[in-house]
Amino acid sequence: MASRGELEQRVMELLWSSPAPQSVADVHASLSAERELAYTTVMTVLDRLAKKGLVDRELVSRAWRYTARNPQSAVIAHEMVALLDGVAPEVRVAALREFAATLTGREAEAFSVTAR
C-alpha cells in the first residue's frame, strides 16, 4: 500500500472530484486558492503519484494531463484490505466488528453481501 502525505491526499481529492484530466497548472491553481505552493512542488507531487500508480498521465500538447487511476472508493477499499492483510484472524474479526458498529443504517445495508 503506497502511503500518501497530506499534500498528496489533497491532490488526489482534486483529481477524484474533477470530471476531466487536470494539468499541473490546473492543480496548482486549485491548490493556490487554499495555500501558497510552488508550481514545481505540485509537479513533483503529481509525478510521485504517477510513480506510485495512483494517477495516470497523458502528454497533451507538451503538458501532462493527470487523472486518478481508480475511483476513491476503490482506493479506500484496497487500503482497508491491506490494513487487515496478515493480521491474526481473531484480531481481523474484532476489527471488522468494531468497524461495523460505526456504520449508519444505509451503510450497513450496503454490506448485504454473502461471505466468500
Q: Say which CATH number the domain at 43 has.
A: 1.10.10.10
The pLDDT score that the predictor gives to residue 9 is 94
105 found inside a domain: yes
Could you give the CA distance from residue 31 to residue 42 in angstroms, rounded to a whole number? 9
**Tens-level pLDDT at each residue, the chain (116 residues):** 456 789 999 999 999 999 999 999 999 999 999 999 999 999 999 999 999 999 999 999 999 999 999 999 999 999 899 999 989 999 999 999 999 899 988 888 887 765 55
Same domain, residue pair 78 and 59: no
Same domain, residue pair 55 and 89: no
The pLDDT score that the predictor gives to residue 114 is 53
The pLDDT score that the predictor gives to residue 1 is 45
Same domain, residue pair 53 and 83: no
The pLDDT score that the predictor gives to residue 50 is 96
Residue 93: phi and psi, rounded to 5, are -65, -45
Cα–Cα distance list, 72 to 25, 78, 93, 114 (Å): 22, 10, 25, 24
Same domain, residue pair 11 and 63: yes
13 found inside a domain: yes
Count: domains in the chain:
2
Same domain, residue pair 47 and 99: no
1 found inside a domain: no
Same domain, residue pair 62 and 77: no
Same domain, residue pair 104 and 51: no
The pLDDT score that the predictor gives to residue 3 is 64
The pLDDT score that the predictor gives to residue 107 is 86
Same domain, residue pair 59 and 88: no
115 found inside a domain: no
